[in-house]
A and B are shown apart, each in its own frame.
Chain A
Amino acid sequence: AQKITQTQPGMFVQEKEAVTLDCTYDTSDPSYGLFWYKQPSSGEMIFLIYQGSYDQQNATEGRYSLNFQKARKSANLVISASQLGDSAMYFCAMRVYSSASKIIFGSGTRLSIRP
């Protein structure tokens, strides 16, 4: 069975600091993808970044990077130079390709940025 674990229910970070949101996953499937989504208070789900299980390099998208450690089955999201607008719920998610389609989500981390 596949599982995503986010152990930080909430985090407070000072503006302009870097922040790491933890995510570990479990799957026996060798082909999978890992995602991070941002959910602001307005409720929409915003795709941030994707990492494939066979990708050699860590994914980066602007201020977002994914620290992918395959042996440890972790896929932490790093946000550099945090901004007030980064305050939101962040979900780590996984898709295994033998499953064809569905994404499994973690329970989320609520990030609050202090001015």
Chain B
Amino acid sequence: EPEVTQTPSHQVTQMGQEVILRCVPISNHLYFYWYRQILGQKVEFLVSFYNNEISEKSEIFDDQFSVERPDGSNFTLKIRSTKLEDSAMYFCASSSSPYEQYFGPGTRLTVT
């Protein structure tokens, strides 16, 4: 069964560094998303992406963040100048319809 994959599974970085989180959505899906979950808290929407552009973003998704679909398969989230409070699980999701979003296994980002 097709699934969303994410790499790396765990990323440790120092405050101020840039990180790129990678996702491979399900191949025939057209809508892509990033969410984050701070430990012990609810899952929060960051951004959605369709037709090579951002379709919606939350107030969390400020200039520190960017997304890109560099080729036909990858979808990346870049966090510039990471802060301690960026430590969280980051989930990528994809969908072909409004009826469901399939989530990847997540990347745990630890900023020290």
Contacts and interface: CB of A to CB of B under 8 A. Distances in A.
A46 B99 CA distance: 14
A102 B50 CA distance: 12
A44 B56 CA distance: 23
Chain B's interface size range is 20 to 34
Nearest to B102: A47
Interface in B27-41: 31, 33, 35, 41
B89 A43 contact: yes
A101 B42 contact: no
Interface in A39-85: 42-47, 50, 52
A44 B101 contact: no
Interface residues of A, number: 25
A52 B98 CA distance: 10
Given A45-B43, A45-B103, A106-B42, A33 B98 contact: yes
24 contacts: A33-B98, A35-B100, A35-B101, A43-B106, A43-B108, A44-B104, A44-B106, A45-B43, A45-B91, A46-B103, A47-B102, A47-B103, A50-B99, A52-B99, A95-B98, A100-B55, A101-B33, A101-B56, A102-B48, A103-B33, A103-B35, A104-B45, A105-B42, A106-B42
Interface of B: 31, 33, 35, 41-45, 48, 50, 55-56, 58, 89, 91, 93, 98-106, 108
**Top 10 A-B pairs ranked by shortest CB distance?**
A101-B48, A45-B103, A102-B45, A105-B43, A44-B105, A107-B42, A105-B42, A101-B56, A43-B106, A50-B99
